[in-house]
Structure 1
Amino acid sequence: MAGSDGAEADGIDDGDDPIERAAAAWVARLSSSDATEADHRAFEAWREADPAHAAAYAEMDALWRRLGQLPDPRPRRGPLEEPAKGPPEGSLKGSPKGSPKTLSGLAALALIGGGLAYEVGLLDRLRADLWSDVGTIAHATLPDGSGVALNTDTAIAVRFTAQERGIALLRGEASFDVVPDPNRPFVVRGGGLSVRAVGTRFFLRADGAGRPVGVAEGRVDVSGPSGRAVVSAGEEIRVGGGALQVAAADVERDLAWRDGRLIFAGRPLAAVLAELDRYRRGRIVLLDSRLGERRVTGAFDARNTDEALDVIAATMGARIRRLSPLLVLVGSPL
Structure 2
Amino acid sequence: MIEHAHTNDLTLNLARTVLKHEAQALTDLADRLGQKFLDAVQCLLNCKGRVVVSGVGKSGHIGRKIAATLASTGTPSFFVHAGEAAHGDLGMITRNDVLIAISNSGTTNELLTIVPVIKREGTPLIAMTSAPDSALAKYADIHLDVGVRQEACPLGLAPTTSTTATLALGDALAVACLQAKGFTADDFARSHPGGALGRRLLIHVGDVMRKGEKVPSVLDSVSVLDAVREITLKRIGMTAIVDKDGCVKGIFTEGDLRRLIERVGDIRNICIADVMTPSPKTIAQSALAAEAAHILDQSLCNQLLVVDEGNHLIGALHIHDLMTAKVL
Q: What TM-score, normalized by structure 2, do the two folds share?
A: 0.26
Larger Rg: 2
Structure with greater strand percent: 1
Greater relative contact order (CA < 8 Å, ≥ 6 in sequence): 1
Structure with greater helix percent: 2
Q: What TM-score, normalized by structure 1, do the two folds share?
A: 0.26
